[in-house]
Structure 1
Amino acid sequence: MSEVAALPAEVAAVLWAERAARAEAWVEPDTVESLTVPTPVLEADLLHREHLVSQWEHAVAQVARWEAVKQRVLAESLDYALADGSHGATPDLQVRSMAAELACAAGMSDRTIAGQMADAQDLRNRFPSTYDVFAAGRVSRAQATVIVDEGRGLDDAAARAEYESLVLDVAAGPTTTGRLRAHAKAIAEQLHPVPLAERHQTARADRRVEVRAGDDGMGTVTAYLPAALAFGIHDRLTQMARTIPADETSPQPRTSDQLRADLFADLLLTGHPTAEAADRDGGNGLGALRGIVQITIPMLTLIGEESRTPATLAGRCPVDAGTARHLAGAASLWERVLTDPVTGGVVATDRRFPTEAQRRHLQARDEHCRFPGCRMPVWRCDVDHTIDHAHGGATTPCNLAHLCRYHHTLKHHTHWTVEQRDDGVMVWTSPTGRAYPDRAPPTVRFIPDDTSADRQSMALGARRA
């Protein structure tokens, strides 16, 4: 093996200077001087807390920027590999070789690196606006990944650019990847040139149940089903699990996940969710439970008219029109909710009975816990008075909101406070004075049918093709 020739001194000096410049570009968190709350307002312990939060914000932004640098290097590495014609190797082998080089330098799997190279090139080339915001540290790698994943099915460049613009508006606020994914799914759906009903029929043909052997005598059963059925099954198992009393004598009480797994197996293999439960109520108690599926259906979709606005499983994903109408036909209770045609915000409900109307209005408006980032569905939350009823808070929608038990406790027993503003916007304030707004998810996400004739023409063209 021949020795590697030493670099000329001037080349080595340039490379080391570049490396030093990159290292100095990382600004240490403790050099951040700007505070979102004026220093005199905070007591000593809160000032320390504010300093920690500032360090955290700065570190998160810096990590995002460096993650973007990694994505750029990966994308350029793939460009290099595909353009490299040395030794007469095929492009596939060149990519493998480049991936192996990067993997060895980082102590990672070359197969993992090869996949990351393709993903990075996809982000840079097909989602340039997301890449720019990512590179500026304004979204995390996880958020950028969500945007790319949910928009990957949009082949038209103009539709993809509009999708990016709308989703990045959502990502600009304090939102988690879970909420961002729900919004992104709905936006991508409305911009997709092929209606959901057609795609659902194709996808539905692939429904299946699979089993895979695991370690330690375990196995995994996976059911690929229409979304409405999948979420309904999970919710019904959760309800069943809550009816089974805890065994105080057991040294290891079952967790919710364990109970759901046991009930799933018992129902499929015996038809009864445990013999004890069947003996206790004759099988009628648990059998009366039904999975809860909250679904929002545009009126045109409901009556069978052609509409580009899909029905939506609350906080989850779009649903094809046929499934939505079937669920509506089997529903024991109908609730009409009027929404703003532009913003999608809830305007009113159709009944005037105060308590019932307020409850239904809040369920339609909130969909989930109203603490920033929490997605606990409303039927597992408390309806909380923003201003305590004991302190004169009115029992009206503008002073009520759903909070899960975890965040309900946070509100009442810590120094976090919350104010409810117009249109159900909840502004949470941390102990250091930082404000975190949480906006009610719009029932219409996000594009009225009649605002883009070009998009409709594009859809018709795609279908004819």
Structure 2
Amino acid sequence: MNGLSGPNEGAPPGDDAVVLESDALERAMLSTFDGLVSSAQSAERIVSASMALRAAQIDKLRVWSEAMVAAEGPAAAGSEPHGWTPAVRGRRELVFELACALRIPESTADRLFDESRQLVNVLTETHAALREGEISYRHAQVMVEQTATLPDEAAADYERELLPFAKTLTVAKFVRVARKKREVLHPESITDRRQKGLEERRVWLDPLPDGMTFLGAHLSAEIGVAAHGRLTEIARAQDAPGDDRTLAQKRADALGDLLLDGDTCAAEGDAAGAAGGSGAGSGSGSGSPAGTGHGIRPKVLVTVPMLTLLGKSEQPATLEGYGPIDPHVARQLAADAPSFTRVLTDPVTSAILDFDRTKYAVPADLRLVLRVRDEVCRAPGCNSPAVNCDVDHSVDFAQGGTTCAGNLSHLCRAHHNLKHHTRVRLRNPGDGRIEWTTRAGRTYVTYPANTIGAPPGSAQAGAPPGDWPPPGDWPPPGDWPKTDGTIGPSPF
């Protein structure tokens, strides 16, 4: 063979063909695999290009809205109560319009307008890279965030130096590089910028699935690092035989104890662990199967279906500001509550008792029922808890509107002002729905979290007249369970 060997020399005839066939199959599969990777890259470029187009269109919308406000001319003297100038009113209408159209929170819509203006008018090279699919929108957002407080001239220099990194690094690595470069190029001292940053400190709550939630805090760096360090020290000091919690779980339990009681209550937690199993050890009970801890003092609204409270049903209760919670936890909270307000709900329709009032002031019992009905502000996309909102007469009391559930709804202060000081209109049909009409004439409908219905004995949706509540499932008239487990008079 002239010193050359074949692909499978010495093998029986036919094996060479098998090897060649196998190699061809592998090459074909790798080619298809590579093609799919390329397709994913192409799809990502299309997404980036779409984000660039969205930014351009949103900025055009902003410019057009400002032009419409300017065309209206200056406001008449005395027609701008509480600072509602034509520019302020136009911006609020614009943000509300986009938020409803894209089904996003108004804070997100407001941020989109600012990001789009920065990309289209200042960070033009970043916008072009986004349009060509060279960077993702998250990379562009990082560039916007890092240049937001820079003068336009400094922002242009910063963009030219940072954009090559955006084209090659992941977002997380790009953020680290961008922050370092910003410290070098920023004309203001870090001391001055820290003072501005402190004005934005806050705490927020994000509900999560499965009875959990995320409690976040935006703090100064030294406080955040020190707080995390203290939680770590507390967690490591709580090692005990039989306690199989992870360090992360112990940190979370220690945080709950400190916020609720001011200490970690280790002795009580250990006692709970002995009684309830190895998972316990925290007084807050945040990760413990032993139940709700001693630190929980119900100052929130928990709506418990009566059959659940009586132990005849496992239908979830509702924790205000969160949503469905474990029936066992709800019964514990009800039993431990120093006072207890009962809200009668239909076990079939979940309808709540209605009220009818003729005075302007909303009485406490009606406020409570409305709070259970709405749970949050009734504006589209707004999740401000009802407990922090105003109770608004949809039709003003002075114009014949009544103080009844069909004419009342919870609006946060921002949307209460939006209703009164802009051309956004609200209509309450009286059946629980709230209809919002924007400046552009588009209508968006919000629905209550819970249904308000007629009192016991009347016809209910889903139940024949006279069959509400179902016979035998409720205590006799006048006999209702109290928080101490005894039976007392009906609250209705």
TM-score under structure 2 length normalisation: 0.39
Structure showing greater Rg: 2
Whichever structure has more helix as a proportion of its residues is 1
- Of the two structures, which has the highest relative contact order with CA contacts closer than 8 Å and spacing of 6 or more? 1
